[in-house]
Each structure stands twice: as structure tokens, then as C-alpha cells.
Amino acid sequence: MPRLLIVLAALALSACTPLLVQHPLSPPTAFSGPRLEDDAVVSFDGARLGLKHWDPVGEPWAVIVGVHGMNDYSNAFHLAAPWWASQGVATYAYDQRGFGRSPERGVWAGEGLMTEDLRTVTALVRRKFPHAIIAVAGESMGGAVAAVAFASDRPPAADRLILMSPAVWGWKEQPLPNKTLLWFAANFTAGKVYEPPRWLTSKIKPTDNREELIAMGRDPQMIWGARSDALYGLVSLMSDASDAVGRASVPTFYLHGAHDQIIPKAAAYRAAAHLKPADRSANYAKGYHLLMRDHEGPIVWADVLAFIRDPQGPLPSGAPAIPHSPAQGAEIARASGAL
């Protein structure tokens, strides 16, 4: 009987999705159009999204639109952005819906709203800096949102796409017990918040920067735990992102840390294997999931800057590329014990 229940649940996964809580759209009369403010972005529907920006002295030659990861917020860029500013590059990072200072905190917004927000923010940045190179840099979940948006028929108005440890651990790579439990939880306890057990969090290191982890733990804007329907939505987003990698029309840079304990190596390599021949990738031997916050983060910052300046130029780190063919990617993942 338990096996039968698992099989039935697996079949249900392919035919039914849970009813996710939807973010309400603001009334059309509630705002005068999308705009950038000092500490907020007014998006396409009037929603106010939290904003942090770091500007160089004088006009920037490039601007990075920063898209943070799950349960994080725009502060994810607080270490890299000041250095980029010292190099003449501005960073405009916003809090995605449901995170940080943005509306419906803790509630999953869905791909449609999240990608439309990215299009809106990028268009506003393009309007503000018409002569600058515009690059979208997404970390983890933010990388998934960016990958999906750039693969759509309405990609953001940017010149570069940077995927930092993108969340690409979709349904295909999820073990059957994960799929089954998540489906039941999302359907029957959609609003319940689940927090990872301490024994698990003590074993998983998102970064080797202990001081930064402590600061994140004390930051009231961070979210710890997630609703079951949000987790379901995240895995669905990761599935779409895995399929979307390599479909952007702009130069793409895929960054991966060899010590990433959040996104399994097999999933990361499978997605990276779909990059176009002209796209770039880097595999950092000492890197973890939060590459910008690692102790070797400055190496990553410099590589990102070099790619923005010249997508085909050398990377200061000299980090090796991830294989760009599915066969090579699977072979390396298998050799590393990831498959």
C-alpha cells in the first residue's frame, strides 16, 4: 500500500498542481506608472518593491540589475556592489515580491509576476542609463527568474545575462520522496511554514564566510523557512529555469562553485551543458553557493566585471569552464559522485 500511494502521488504530480496563493494586483488608479525611487521600485502594477542601489562617482559605464535568491533580498549584493561602484559600475538590486521589504512577504508570487517585475526594473534602469551596458545578474532563485525571463518572447532589455549558482534543481532531478511529500504538503497544508531542522542547517554551508552568515542570521529582512506552496512554486520555477538556460539571445555567463551544497552538481551541470558555444561559464574550485559572499568573492566580482566589459575576453580568475555539451556534463557529474 505505501508503494501504491507513492506511485499515485507521482502520477498526480504530472497532472495536477496545487492552488498557489496569488499576489493581488494593485488597482490601475493607484499609481502613475512604473518608476525608480531612492529606496523602491514602483513596478508595472503599482506594487512597491524594495530597492538598494550603489552608484559610482560620475556616469556609470555599466549597470547591474541584481536579482536575489530565495528568502534573501537586495542586500545579497552589498559586498560586491561597492567594489563594482569603485570600478565605475552601478548596481540596482530590488526585493522580489514576497521577500525583503516588498509586498506579501513569505507568499510565492509566481513566475509571471516575478519575470514581469524583472522586465520592468530592467526597462527603468535602461531608461535611466541609456548609454550604459545593462547586465542582469541573478543569484540562485534570482538566476532562475532571470533565465526564464530571457528565454521568453519578451526578454528584459539588457545586454548581458549573469547566472550565479542558478537554481536549476527541478522536478526531473528531485527524488521521488521529495516530489511526493511536496505535492501533498502544497495541496493540503499550503499555508504552513516549514523550517529546515537544525541538524540539516548545521551540515549545509551556503558560504564559507562565517561572519556573513552570522550577519544574515541577525538581519530582520531575511526569511527563515518557507510555505509549502512556495516550495512547490520554487521547484516548478527551477524546472523551467533548467530548460531555459542557453536560450537567451544575449551573452550569458554561468557561475558555479565546486562546493555548492544547495544545488546538486548533477543538476547544475545538466543546465550548464545547454549553454550556447559563445556563452561563458566558470567553475570555482573553492566556491560555495553564495559566490558573491564567499571569502574568495572578490575573484568572482572581478570575473563578472570582466565579462560585462568583454564577454569573450579572459577571466581574471582563470577558472575553468563547465563543459558545454550534455554528454561531457553528465560524465563529469558522474565522476564527481553527483549522479
Contact partners, residue 295, CB within 8 Å, separation at least 6? 208, 209, 286
- The answer to whether the CB of 303 falls within 8 A of the CB of 317 is yes
In tens, the pLDDT along 97-136 reads 999 999 999 999 999 999 999 999 999 999 999 999 999 9
In tens, the pLDDT along 178-194 reads 777 777 776 777 677 77
The pLDDT value recorded for residue 15 is 35
Q: What is the CATH topology of the domain spanning 2-335?
A: Rossmann fold (3.40.50)
Q: Specify the residue for cell string 549522479.
A: 339
**CA 186/CA 180 separation, integer angstroms:** 10
Comparing 19-28, 224-233, 315-324, the range with the smallest average pLDDT is: 19-28
Q: Domains of the chain: which residue ranges? A: 2-335
Q: What is the DSSP-derived secondary structure letter of residue 293?
A: G
What percentage of the chain has pLDDT greater than the value 70? 83
The pLDDT value recorded for residue 190 is 64
The pLDDT value recorded for residue 191 is 72
The pLDDT value recorded for residue 2 is 36
Coil, strand, or helix at residue 193?
A: strand
Q: List strands edge to edge, sheet with 62-67.
A: 35-36, 40-42, 48-54, 89-94, 62-67, 133-139, 160-164, 252-257, 280-284
Q: What is the DSSP-derived secondary structure letter of residue 292?
A: G
The pLDDT value recorded for residue 227 is 87
Question: How does strand 252-257 pair with strand 40-42?
Answer: unpaired
Q: Which amino acid is at 298?
A: P
29 pLDDT band (50/70/90 cuts)?
low
- The answer to whether the CB of 49 falls within 8 A of the CB of 94 is yes
| pLDDT, greater one: 15 or 110 | 110
In tens, the pLDDT along 56-79 reads 999 999 999 999 999 999 999 999
pLDDT (average), residues 21-27 = 53
In tens, the pLDDT along 255-271 reads 999 999 999 999 999 99
Task: Indicate the average pLDDT of the chain.
Answer: 87
